[in-house]
């Protein structure tokens, strides 16, 4: 046994605070050199946690995050990992013959990709790097960062050392890691949790064995909030089940975070369809150039409009002598101004859906000019408020930072819904009925995937037409039984059946989807029916009863098989 393991395990276990049971979740974050910690319970309560920074927690899969950061910062080559099909661990990576790249490997927890031996990481430069980042030698409670060979998932580390290590990571590397980790709440590991977190959570999940009761699982995640605040949470269960169960409570418990840096650059050609006659500053004509303060624009049609500039509006004349007004904003400021102009914030979930749609429309339709995306302020594209974004609209744009749709050409309209076109009035009604933003988007754009500006979504829907056709054919026969089942409701639209590349089959309620590998056997059919029942019973407690759902699924499949014999 390695010296660090034999000499420290007894001490580590002695230091372990009582680990959170199934009915509690431990949460901690690090700000201004101070650890804040809470323990949540499933009755809705929270209290000061019974542990401090000396609390020992399993490293689990978190080691991959530190290899990722080191590789980025030190420019270590990270070639794609190709799956050969002979290693069990490849279930977290790819199918045989396929490859996986760095960002997706982090989100999916592909340990084979980050193997220190594969990336040829050596002790001396590794230790020098982390000692420099920590501002102290990687020894004592920080010795898990002294050598890449120390990065064993069973390693117990102090919560304090983990938090300080996360806080020490450079902003640029943290940004890259955070962008990759956004896919955790969008993919299978955080299924149904984007509703609650938006883009606030940038965490690497982990699941491991209890150090004292090896038949029990511990799980959770660590990483950052969008503003770089280090965060850790853990409890007694796997990480995916913890995320799904605790997402609403965790989202309401997280500390407020400063708005993320407004990345990107958008040039807006204001009033594209309304020729400008003049721009005035009080009683005087505005001087061409960057504008600051209150102004009034007068149009050739006789109308006028007041606006305010914070050095983000440029007044100029084009070669034909026409007056032009151009705004220059970050992407989130642009999205927030679209929310103010095209919708509003009185129904926040609808506004979040509009934010994602507006950001997607920008990516799909803007032209590149002068290192920025350029788009007109027009009813033919999307309208953009000339005033600085309201506080509420900007908060929603920041909450959905980087989130976009892929797979469809996005449109929206004030009143009329159509294929791949969201109606704002309908979205408001859906929000008032309790639908969250991702469900509103699914209803408007059923063929789309919620992803990020960086792409790399690990769970886009590749349809399984045979499985979908089988489900549609069999469902009318099942309905005679299911109508007697308490809590069952037929989904408004037939669920999409998507190919599952890795992991266990699951249903995604917010997007009305089922993920499975195929439909080649009786067990595959039972699995499909099982996940369908989770959708049909989603509003009833029985939908969470795995035994009842499995028994009902087998009954439905076997009854139909007997009918065909």
Q: Which of 401, 422, 452 is the last residue of a domain?
A: 452
Write down the pLDDT at residue 545: 80
Q: Does residue 113 belong to any structural domain of this protein?
A: no
Q: What is the pTM of this model?
A: 0.79
Report DSSP letters for 277-329, one per residue: EEEEETTEEPPSEEEEEEEEEEETTS-EEEEEEEEEEEEEE-TTS-EEEEEEE
Average of pLDDT values for 521-527? 91
Q: Rounded distance, CA 161 to CA 139, Å?
A: 11
Q: Which of 14-23, 315-324, 462-471 has the lowest mean pLDDT?
A: 14-23
Q: Does residue 87 belong to any structural domain of this protein?
A: no
Q: Rounded distance, CA 407 to CA 513, Å?
A: 15
Write down the pLDDT at residue 503: 62
* CATH code where residue 551 lies: 3.30.2010
**pLDDT category, 413, cuts 50, 70, 90?**
very high
Q: Partners of 329 in the beta sheet?
A: 266
Write down the pLDDT at residue 1: 37
Contacts of 256 (CB under 8 A, 6+ apart): none
Write out the residue range of the structural domain in which residue 127 sits. Answer: 3-76+121-253
Q: Does residue 91 belong to any structural domain of this protein?
A: no
Residues 332 and 469 in one domain: no
Residues 29 and 178 in one domain: yes
* Per-residue pLDDT tens digits for 300-356: 999 999 999 999 999 998 888 889 999 999 999 999 999 999 999 999 999 999 999
**String of b and e for 288-319 (b: at least 16 CB within 10 Å)?**
eeebeeebebeeeeeeeeebebeebbbbeeee
Contact 390, 343 (CB under 8 A): no
Average of pLDDT values for 155-174? 95
Write down the pLDDT at residue 16: 45
Q: Which of 221, 253, 285 is the last residue of a domain?
A: 253
Q: Which of 253, 284, 315 is the last residue of a domain?
A: 253
Residues 59 and 205 in one domain: yes
Write down the pLDDT at residue 453: 86
Average pLDDT, the chain: 88
* Per-residue pLDDT tens digits for 375-405: 999 988 999 999 999 999 999 999 999 999 9
Average of pLDDT values for 91-95? 87
Angle at the Cα of 296 from the Cα atoms of 291 and 300, rounded to 5 degrees: 115
Residues 379 and 470 in one domain: no
Residues 40 and 159 in one domain: yes
Contacts of 465 (CB under 8 A, 6+ apart): none
Residue 565 has pLDDT above 70, yes or no: no
Residues 58 and 193 in one domain: yes
Secondary structure of 49-71 as H, E, C letters:
CCCCCCCEEECHHHHHHHHHHHH
Residue 457 has pLDDT above 60, yes or no: no
Residues 550 and 499 in one domain: yes
- The token pair that represents 287 in the structure block: 């001087």
Structural domains of the chain, count: 3
Helix (H) or strand (E) holding 420: none
* Per-residue pLDDT tens digits for 123-154: 999 999 999 999 999 999 999 999 999 999 99
Q: Does residue 205 belong to any structural domain of this protein?
A: yes
Count of all residues that appear for the chain in the document: 565
Q: Does residue 277 belong to any structural domain of this protein?
A: no
Q: What is the DSSP letter of 141?
A: G
Residues 35 and 176 in one domain: yes
Write down the pLDDT at residue 560: 62
Average of pLDDT values for 519-538? 90
Residues 72 and 168 in one domain: yes
Q: Does residue 311 belong to any structural domain of this protein?
A: no
* CATH code where residue 130 lies: 3.40.710
Give 175 or 545, the one with higher predicted confidence: 175
Residue 476, classified by CB atoms within 10 Å of its CB into exposed (0-12), middle (13-18) or buried (19+), is: exposed
Residue 20 has pLDDT above 70, yes or no: no
Residues 441 and 478 in one domain: no
Residues 430 and 518 in one domain: no
Q: Does residue 163 belong to any structural domain of this protein?
A: yes
Write down the pLDDT at residue 455: 66
Residues 477 and 527 in one domain: yes
Q: Does residue 195 belong to any structural domain of this protein?
A: yes
Write down the pLDDT at residue 458: 44
Write down the pLDDT at residue 502: 59
Contacts of 477 (CB under 8 A, 6+ apart): 560, 563
Contacts of 481 (CB under 8 A, 6+ apart): 555, 556, 559
């Amino acid at each position: 046994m390695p010296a660090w393991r034999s000499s420290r395990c007894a001490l580590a276990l002695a230091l372990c605070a009582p680990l959170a049971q199934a009915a509690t979740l431990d949460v901690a974050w690090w700000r201004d050199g101070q650890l804040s910690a809470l323990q949540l319970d499933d009755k809705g309560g929270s209290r000061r946690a019974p542990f401090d920074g000396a609390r020992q927690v399993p490293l689990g899969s978190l080691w991959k995050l530190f290899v990722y950061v080191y590789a980025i910062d030190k420019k270590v080559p990270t070639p794609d990992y190709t799956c050969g099909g002979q290693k069990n661990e490849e279930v977290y990576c790819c199918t045989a013959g396929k490859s996986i790249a760095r960002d997706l490997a982090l989100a999916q927890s592909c340990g084979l990709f980050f193997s220190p031996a594969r990336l040829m990481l050596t002790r001396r430069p590794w230790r020098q790097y982390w000692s420099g980042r920590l501002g102290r030698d990687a020894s004592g409670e920080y010795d898990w960062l002294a050598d890449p060979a120390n990065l064993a998932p069973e390693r117990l580390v102090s919560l304090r050392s983990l938090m300080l290590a996360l806080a020490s990571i450079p902003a640029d590397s943290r940004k890259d890691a955070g962008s990759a980790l956004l896919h955790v709440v969008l993919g299978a590991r955080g299924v149904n949790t984007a509703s609650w977190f938006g883009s606030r959570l940038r965490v690497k999940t982990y699941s491991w064995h209890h150090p004292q009761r090896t038949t029990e699982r511990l799980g959770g995640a660590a990483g950052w909030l969008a503003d770089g605040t280090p965060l850790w949470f853990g409890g007694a269960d796997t990480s995916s089940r913890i995320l799904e169960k605790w997402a609403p409570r965790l989202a309401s418990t997280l500390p407020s975070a400063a708005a993320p840096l407004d990345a990107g650059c958008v040039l807006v050609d204001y009033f594209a369809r309304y020729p400008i006659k003049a721009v005035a500053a009080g009683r005087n004509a505005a001087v061409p150039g960057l504008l600051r303060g209150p102004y009034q624009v007068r149009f050739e049609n006789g109308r006028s409009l007041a606006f305010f500039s914070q050095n983000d509006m440029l007044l100029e004349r084009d070669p034909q002598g026409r007056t032009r007004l151009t705004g220059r904003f970050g992407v989130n400021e642009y999205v927030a101004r679209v929310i103010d102009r095209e919708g509003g914030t009185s129904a926040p979930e609808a506004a979040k859906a509009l934010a994602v749609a507006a950001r997607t429309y920008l990516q799909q339709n803007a032209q590149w000019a002068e290192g920025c995306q350029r788009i007109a302020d027009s009813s033919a594209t999307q309208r953009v408020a000339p005033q600085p974004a309201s506080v509420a609209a900007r908060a929603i744009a920041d909450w959905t930072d980087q989130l976009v749709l892929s797979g469809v050409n996005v449109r929206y309209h004030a009143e009329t819904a159509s294929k791949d076109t969201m109606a704002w009035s309908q979205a408001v009604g859906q929000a008032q009925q309790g639908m969250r933003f991702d469900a509103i988007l699914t209803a408007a754009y059923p063929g789309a995937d919620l992803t990020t500006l960086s792409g790399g979504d690990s769970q886009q829907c590749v349809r399984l037409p045979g499985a979908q056709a089988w489900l549609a054919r069999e469902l009318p026969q099942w309905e005679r039984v299911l109508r007697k089942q308490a809590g069952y409701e037929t989904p408004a639209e037939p669920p999409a059946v998507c190919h599952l590349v890795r992991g266990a089959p699951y249903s995604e309620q917010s997007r009305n989807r089922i993920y499975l590998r195929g439909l080649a056997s009786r067990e595959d059919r039972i699995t499909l029916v099982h996940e369908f029942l989770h959708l049909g019973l989603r509003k009833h407690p029985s939908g969470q009863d795995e035994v009842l759902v499995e028994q009902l699924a087998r009954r439905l499949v076997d009854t139909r098989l007997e009918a065909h014999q």
